[in-house]
Amino acid sequence: MTILDIKNISIDFPTSKGVVHAVSNFSLSVPQGRRVGFIGESGSGKTTTALAAMRMLAAPGYVSEGEIHLHSLGDTNVLELSDDEMRRVRLKKIAYIPQGAMNSLNPVMRIENQIWDGIVAHEGHVERAELQRRSRTVLESVGLPASVGRLYPHELSGGMKQRVCIAIGVCLKPDLLIADEPTSALDVITQRQVMQTLREVQETIGAGLILIGHDMGLMAQSVDDLAVMKLGKLVEYGTVRQIIENPQHEYTKQLISSVPLVGGESFIESTPEILRGEAGPLLEFDKVTKRYGNVTALHPLSFSLDGEVPKIISVVGQSGSGKSTMGSLMLGFNAPTEGTVTFRGKDINRLNKADALTFRKDVQAVFQDPYACFNPFYRVDHALKFPFKRFGLAKSESHTRQAMEEACVAVGLDPSLVLRRYPHQLSGGQRQRLIVARALMLSPKLLIADEPVSMVDASLRAAILKNIHDLKDKHGISILYITHDLATAYHVSDYVMVLYHGRVVEAGPPKEVIGSPQHPYTRLLIDSIPWPDLDRDWGSAKDAAAGLDALATGEAAAQSVFRGDITGFDLSVHA
């Protein structure tokens, strides 16, 4: 029995330049209890199709033709329901789990009140004791303690917030769940826990599931059937095994090959001649510690990075491991509680005005969110021009224009297609490459790349990381690559540091640390990577939690395993 039938729908968006056909002649059925994946790059129509089933298309988008039927509503076309009738369908019959849990919860309401909202909206007055019982039950069903109900969203981790969104989605036991990239910004361990939780709760209530995403590895571990979408059209559909083991469409093959594998074929092509920099220590940590109150975010750490031969040093670990704390210390955004951070022999937290300006030019950053890095009221040219002029590098308007165009070309962008545009007119991948281009224009000596590809399509990650790798080889820039994606770190790094609760627990060349991990935490990170391998079992949500619990109670968590050295980078940790 099918619970959702989408029949020949087309979705259009009228614009000042004509009608954009976002989805064309799309048909698909979701059987009861079955998990169906919608996969494709940004702009392929995945979310637009799902939102049409919820009647939540943003204006001016509309369904220009076709029908959508929910089995529980009989022969009624969802598109013909009144607004009041559709409100009674949402959450009760079909529920939506959004991508950005951080932006989807009300920051001034307790979690339990946000669960109660949906129950009361559909069932009218319900006694407080019954509401509390039901919120406790649904929180426990997604692996959260009942006490979470009394907390506010800002008191929860990203993974906990995402599970709260799942709890809200299943509180009325709908027939169909639509999960829109529910793990896109989560680390691999939390991603695994959230997806296993979603899978288990979906099986418990017997609902169908539409999982929207762009990661073929995640789909292989999570769904039964797969619908591949490109430019609003369904290009391939079948069981997940058929699609992954015997793809027919060229686009499907590209999506599968875009998944980087540990030990697999590298997407990086090394340049024979590497541009060398100035010899001597570039960046040094001397017994650096960072504490916030009673919490030690980074335990005592020392390292020295030489500037002569540029390198990519990867810092990996799950959220809360201290990666971004280390990055902020390198950039001088925060001062260490103890120890010193020096750049070219000078303490970056004691620089005079002139030296501070030079430091800001020589040490650039690429941040995680390509959407938050641009002022939406300015064209993207402003973001590129402003620092170039501010640091006194612009000789004339024509020189500035030439520098912008050369930087765009260096990161694989066509200047005529991206310059003079506003941020909202560009894709996430284009925006992220422009941030890299902005850094390149200043000819920095060091680049801090904090999760630079976590919010872009899997198929674009390799291209952006190739751009960053080229900065090392062709422009002589050393790079600190902060990430929770061990597969990409394996391919782009010269050296890898694994952080767990602010400690370096394993470090060395990537083929040793990631290819053959010894520390139990590193092994847990590797085991949590979703491979496009259908014969590999991810296990249950309890398995993942048990792995972390075993680490927290064992002595191995505080031990460091050193797997070898490389020329130009020296690391030491302190008790």
Greater model confidence, 376 or 185: 376
- Supply 372's token pair: 């938050």
Greater model confidence, 443 or 548: 443
Of the pLDDT bands very low, low, confident and very high (cuts 50, 70, 90), residue 556 is low
Greater model confidence, 396 or 475: 396
Distances in whole angstroms, Cα of residue 335 to Cα of each of 301, 307, 354, 356: 14, 23, 19, 14
CB 340 within 8 A of CB 516: no
Give the integer Cα–Cα distance in Å for 509 and 69: 54
Query: Which range is least confidently modeled, 32-46, 99-113, 268-282, 421-435?
Result: 268-282
Q: Each residue of 46-78: pLDDT tens digit? A: 989 999 999 999 889 999 999 999 988 888 899
For residue 133, the model assigns a pLDDT of 96
Specify the domain boundaries for CATH 3.40.50.300 within the chain.
Answer: 2-257, 281-376+444-519+559-573
Residue 237 makes CB contacts below 8 A (sequence gap 6+) with 28, 225, 226, 227, 228
For residue 427, the model assigns a pLDDT of 75
- Supply 475's token pair: 């422009």
Indicate the fold that domain 2-257 takes in CATH.
Rossmann fold (3.40.50)
Q: Is the pLDDT of residue 541 over 70?
A: no
Q: What is the value of pTM for the model shown?
A: 0.84
DSSP letters along 436-452, please?
A: HHHHHHT--SEEEEEST
Q: Each residue of 69-124: pLDDT tens digit? A: 998 888 889 999 999 999 999 999 999 998 777 678 999 999 999 999 999 999 99
Give the integer Cα–Cα distance in Å for 348 and 261: 38
* pLDDT mean over 283-305: 94
Output b/e per residue, 465-499; b: 16+ Cβ within 10 A: bbbbbbbbbebbbbbbbbbbbbbbbbbbbbbbbbb
- Report the interhelical angle of 541-553 vs 520-527 (nearest 10°): 170
- For residue 235, the surrounding DSSP H or E stretch is strand 233-239
CB 175 within 8 A of CB 159: no
Q: Is the pLDDT of residue 272 over 60?
A: no
pLDDT above 90 covers a percentage of the chain that reads 59
For residue 271, the model assigns a pLDDT of 62
Residue 128 makes CB contacts below 8 A (sequence gap 6+) with none
Q: Is the pLDDT of residue 353 over 90?
A: yes
| Burial status of residue 166 (CB atoms within 10 A of its CB: 0-12, 13-18, 19 or more) | buried
Greater model confidence, 32 or 465: 32
CB 211 within 8 A of CB 222: yes
Q: Is the pLDDT of residue 402 over 60?
A: yes
- Report the interhelical angle of 397-410 vs 458-475 (nearest 10°): 120
Residue 296 makes CB contacts below 8 A (sequence gap 6+) with 289, 290, 502
- Supply 140's token pair: 């426990």
Give the integer Cα–Cα distance in Å for 298 and 287: 10
Residue 154 DSSP code: G
Q: Please, what is the end-to-end C-alpha distance for the chain in angstroms? A: 61
Q: Each residue of 122-159: pLDDT tens digit? A: 999 999 999 999 999 999 999 899 999 999 998 887 78
- Centre a 10 Å sphere on the Cβ of residue 293 and count the other Cβ atoms it contains: 5
For CA atoms 121, 125, 126, 128, the dihedral sign is positive
Q: Domain 281-376+444-519+559-573: what homologous superfamily?
A: P-loop containing nucleotide triphosphate hydrolases (3.40.50.300)
- Supply 151's token pair: 């907390």
Distances in whole angstroms, Cα of residue 493 to Cα of each of 35, 199, 325, 509, 564: 36, 34, 20, 8, 14
For residue 191, the model assigns a pLDDT of 86
